[in-house]
């Protein structure tokens, strides 16, 4: 039996079950599973290495996120794109999250170049043969930015990775200062992240339910956690017809696939491994013009101490060996900090210029572990924001948390 007839039978059998999703014919109906996987998937996701810095996401007691978020309707998502016969899903997921972060930071929605990543990013990525979003975020940071789609159009849709054009790649438009990995297998943390911005995720998509998805909330046990496809979570909500909570996901297979290029996946079941490998860029901003030639100037001030000299530093430049990176639900930014307890007080060494007091003020509800924080406001509301920010030094600012205090975090 030909692939089309096999897929037609799968569609009919699935839709007859009156599930919360439907399958349908699309441009992939003529592919077998193996053909589909070979053309569109990336095995590199299976080899993602953990970052050196351990991360903990603190859930604030009583903190309520919005019931639904949709970054598409908010204007932070570019139109659906098409990767073609190239395994470049990782590049499309990367540009999507950077585009969203840039729009949220500046109000400007700029379509960025996947081809810049496919052809020029060799930071562990391999063009049409696959890559990782974290690698691509790091490449954008270290290479000075990424070009716009208009300046460096996508040409790898045939499945052939071309040669990097240094002239096109030089037209940098947007850069980032880093990225944050969402704690693995924590859909509450993923929800908190998506409430702030679109988030890159890896999923297992080499099954017929994904290949032939048409509409509704995908809730299936046929896909597992063998991650092979990069996509973008652009929102969440609850389906009015089925009552199922869902993730809204932007794919890169064109607007004729799924719900105009999007799909909804059931939330709370780690559907297709959606919470296994999620991350988002930090510090998105426009690339400024090249600085003019330097002129004679006074002796510069003393440089900022390198990472590893004090506790409570910026994770983007490194944490001490006894610290982890902390993010807090509903609070922007992050910071390095050690554990603490009754017999383990918080270290008193703080970064230069910081007058906020270290206190054992945070607790991870899942593990019970307690952590230090720099308290910049002993009570809320923060009456004088500038004075509170000044307590955090030059690179951090004072944020309100549900426990009734203000603490210092770094906004990358």
Which pair of structure tokens corresponds to residue 165?
Answer: 């054009």
Q: What is the 8-class DSSP label of residue 374?
A: E
Closest CA to 234 of 280, 189, 276, 268: 280
89-106 helix and 133-143 helix, angle to the nearest 10 degrees: 60
Give the Cα separation of 73 and 25 in Å (integer).
27
Give the Cα separation of 385 and 398 in Å (integer).
7
Could you confirm whether 89 is annotated as catalytic?
Answer: yes
- Among 229, 319, 340, 392, the active-site one is 229
Closest CA to 45 of 125, 145, 159, 161: 125
381 phi and psi angles, rounded to 5 deg: -75, 165
- Among 86, 89, 120, 392, the active-site one is 89
| Alpha-helical runs (H) found in 107-253 | 114-120, 133-143, 166-169, 187-194, 208-211
Residue 84 CA from chain centroid, whole number: 23
Q: Are 182 and 280 in contact (CB under 8 A)?
A: yes
> Which residues lie below 8 Å from residue 210, measured CB to CB, with a gap of 6+?
218, 223, 229, 263, 272
CB-based burial, 47-83: b 16+ in 10 Å, e otherwise: ebeeeeeebbbbbbeeeeeeeebebbeeebbbebbbb
Per-residue CA distances from 303 to 46, 234, 306, 352, 392 (Å): 41, 40, 8, 11, 18
- Among 7, 126, 135, 251, the active-site one is 251
Could you confirm whether 384 is annotated as catalytic?
Answer: no
Give the Cα separation of 232 and 209 in Å (integer).
18
| Alpha-helical runs (H) found in 195-251 | 208-211
Could you confirm whether 15 is annotated as catalytic?
Answer: no
Give the Cα separation of 283 and 253 in Å (integer).
28
Q: Are 59 and 362 in contact (CB under 8 A)?
A: no
Per-residue CA distances from 55 to 94, 180, 231, 335 (Å): 21, 9, 23, 10
Q: What is the edge-to-edge ordering of all strands in the sheet holding 285-286? A: 146-147, 172-175, 285-286
Give the Cα separation of 39 and 87 in Å (integer).
6
Residues marked active site are found at 89, 229, 251
């Amino acid at each position: 039996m030909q692939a089309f007839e096999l897929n037609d039978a799968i569609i009919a059998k699935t839709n007859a079950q009156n599930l919360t999703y439907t399958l349908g014919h699309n441009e992939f109906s003529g592919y077998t599973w193996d053909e589909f996987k070979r053309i569109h998937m990336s095995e590199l996701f299976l080899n993602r290495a953990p970052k050196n810095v351990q991360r903990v996401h603190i859930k604030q007691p009583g903190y309520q996120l919005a019931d639904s978020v949709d970054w598409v309707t908010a204007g932070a998502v570019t139109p659906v794109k098409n990767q073609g016969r190239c395994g470049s899903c990782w590049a499309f997921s990367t540009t999507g999250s950077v585009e969203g972060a840039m729009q949220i930071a500046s109000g400007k929605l700029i379509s960025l170049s996947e081809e810049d990543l496919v052809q020029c990013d060799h930071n562990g990525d391999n063009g049409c043969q696959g890559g990782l979003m974290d690698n691509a975020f790091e490449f954008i940071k270290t290479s000075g930015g990424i070009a716009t789609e208009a300046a460096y159009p996508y040409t790898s849709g045939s499945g052939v990775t071309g040669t990097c054009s240094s002239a096109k790649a030089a037209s940098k438009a947007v850069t980032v200062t880093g990225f944050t990995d969402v704690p693995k297998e924590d859909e509450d943390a993923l929800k908190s992240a998506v409430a702030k911005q679109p988030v890159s995720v890896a999923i297992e998509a080499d099954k017929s339910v994904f290949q032939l998805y048409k509409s509704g909330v995908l809730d299936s046990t046929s896909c597992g956690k063998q991650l092979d496809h990069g996509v973008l979570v652009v929102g969440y909500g609850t389906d009015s017809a089925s009552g199922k909570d869902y993730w809204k996901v932007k794919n890169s297979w064109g607007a004729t696939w799924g719900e105009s290029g999007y799909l909804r996946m059931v939330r709370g079941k780690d559907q297709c491994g959606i919470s296994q490998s999620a991350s988002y860029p930090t510090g998105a901003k426009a690339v400024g013009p090249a600085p003019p030639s330097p002129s004679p100037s006074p002796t510069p001030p003393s440089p900022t101490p390198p990472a590893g000299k004090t506790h409570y530093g910026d994770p983007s430049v490194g944490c001490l060996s006894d610290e982890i990176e902390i993010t807090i639900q509903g609070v922007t930014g992050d910071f390095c900090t050690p554990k603490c307890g009754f017999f383990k007080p918080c270290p008193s060494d703080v970064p230069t210029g910081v007058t906020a007091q270290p206190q054992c003020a945070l607790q991870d509800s899942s593990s019970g572990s307690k952590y230090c924080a720099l308290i910049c406001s002993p009570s809320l509301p923060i009456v004088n924001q500038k004075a509170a920010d000044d307590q955090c030094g030059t690179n951090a600012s004072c944020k309100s948390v549900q426990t009734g205090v203000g603490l210092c975090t770094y906004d990358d």
